[in-house]
Structure 1
Amino acid sequence: MTSRPTRSRRLTVAAAAVAVLPLLAACGSSNATGAAGEVEGSTIVLTTVTGLQPQFQEYADAYMESFPDRTVEVRSTTDDAAEYAQQLATARLSGEVPDVFFNVDFLADTLAKNNVTLDLAPGIDEGKLGDLTIDDFLPQFVGQYRPLDDPDQVTGLPVSADSVGLYYNKSAFEQAGVDEFPEADWTWDDMYRVADEIQTNTGGAVTGLAAPLGDGTPQIVYGPVIQAYGGYVYDAETGTSGIGQPEAIEAWTTLLAPYGTASGEYTATADDPTLKFSSGNVAMAIASRGAVPQTKTAMGDADWDVQVLPTIDGNSTAGGGSYGLSIAQTSENQDAAWAFLAWFYDTDAGMKVAQEVGGVIPPTDDGIDNGTWKDGTPPPVNIAIFGESARTAVLLTQMPGASASVMSEATKKATQQVLLEGRDITEAFQEAEATVNDAIAKESE
Structure 2
Amino acid sequence: MRTMAGRRRGRPLVAVAGVSALLALISACGGSSSGGGGGGSVEGSKITLSVQAGLVPQFQKYVAAYEKAYPKRKVTVGSLPDDATQYVQQLVTERLGNKLPDVLMNVDYAANPLADGNVTLDIADRLEKGTDGLKGSSFLPQFVGQYRPVSHPEQITGLPVSADSTTLFYNKAVFEKAGVTEYPKATWTWDDLYRVGAEIEQKTGGKYAGLTAPLGTGDQPAVYNPVIHAMGGYVYDPKTKKSGIGQPEAIKAWEMLLKAYGTASPKYSANVAGQPKFEQGQSAMAFSVRAAVPNIKQSLKDDWDAQTMPKLNGKPTVGGGSYGLSISKSSHNQDAAWAFLAWFYSQDGGMKVAQATGQVVPPTQEGVDHGTWRQLPAPPQNEAAFAQDAKDAYLPAALPGSAGTVLSDSVIKAVQQVELQHRSVADAFGDAEKAVNQALQSAK
Structure 1 length normalisation: TM-score?
A: 0.90
Aligned counterparts of 1:349 and 1:317: Cα–Cα separation in 2: 32
**Which amino acid is the alignment partner of residue 394 of structure 1?**
Y
Please tell me whether the aligned partners of residues 163 and 363 of structure 2 are also in contact (alpha carbons under 8 angstroms). yes
Q: Which of 218, 221, 225 pairs up with 1:223?
A: 225
Match of 1:166, SS? strand
Residue number in structure 1 paired with 2:185: 183
Q: Which of 44, 49, 52 pairs up with 1:49?
A: 52
Q: How does 1:15-94 map to 2 (within 5 A)?
A: 38-94=41-97
Residue number in structure 2 paired with 1:25: none
Structure 1 unaligned blocks of 5 or more: 1-9, 18-35
Please tell me whether the aligned partners of residues 245 and 429 of structure 2 are also in contact (alpha carbons under 8 angstroms). yes
**Which amino acid is the alignment partner of residue 211 of structure 1?**
A
Residue number in structure 1 paired with 2:115: 112
Cα deviation for residue 77 of structure 1 reads 2.0
Aligned counterparts of 2:277 and 2:319: Cα–Cα separation in 1: 19
Cα deviation for residue 55 of structure 1 reads 0.6
Structure 2 unaligned blocks of 5 or more: 12-38
Cα deviation for residue 359 of structure 1 reads 2.2
Q: How does 1:206-285 map to 2 (within 5 A)?
A: 206-272=208-274, 275-285=276-286
**Which amino acid is the alignment partner of residue 278 of structure 1?**
E
1:204 aligns with 2:206: yes
Match of 1:428, SS? helix
Q: What CA RMSD, in Å, does the superposition of the two structures yield over aligned residues?
A: 1.8
Which of structure 1's runs of 4+ aligned residues deviate more than 3 A? 13-17
Cα deviation for residue 202 of structure 1 reads 1.2
**Which amino acid is the alignment partner of residue 209 of structure 2?**
T
Please tell me whether the aligned partners of residues 13 and 322 of structure 1 are also in contact (alpha carbons under 8 angstroms). no
1:312-367 CA deviation, whole Å, 9 max, x = no partner?
Answer: 00110111111100001000011110110111111122211111146211100011
Aligned counterparts of 1:160 and 1:343: Cα–Cα separation in 2: 15
Aligned counterparts of 2:333 and 2:7: Cα–Cα separation in 1: 28
**Which amino acid is the alignment partner of residue 333 of structure 2?**
N
100-109 or 345-354: which moved more?
345-354
1:68-102 CA deviation, whole Å, 9 max, x = no partner?
Answer: 00000001121011111121122112111000010
Please tell me whether the aligned partners of residues 15 and 290 of structure 1 are also in contact (alpha carbons under 8 angstroms). no
Residue number in structure 1 paired with 2:306: 306
Residue number in structure 2 paired with 1:328: 328
Residue number in structure 1 paired with 2:351: 351
Q: How does 1:396-415 map to 2 (within 5 A)?
A: 396-415=396-415
Please tell me whether the aligned partners of residues 292 and 359 of structure 2 are also in contact (alpha carbons under 8 angstroms). no
Q: How does 1:108-147 map to 2 (within 5 A)?
A: 108-128=111-131, 130-147=132-149
Match of 2:206, SS? coil
Residue number in structure 2 paired with 1:23: none
Check 1:14–1:161 CA distance in 2 against 1; reply closer, same or farther (3 A cut): farther
**Corresponding residue pairs, total:** 415
| % identity of equivalent residues | 53
Residue number in structure 1 paired with 2:167: 165
Aligned counterparts of 2:127 and 2:212: Cα–Cα separation in 1: 42
Aligned counterparts of 1:393 and 1:357: Cα–Cα separation in 2: 22
Structure 2 length normalisation: TM-score?
A: 0.91
Match of 1:214, SS? coil
Check 1:285–1:14 CA distance in 2 against 1; reply closer, same or farther (3 A cut): same
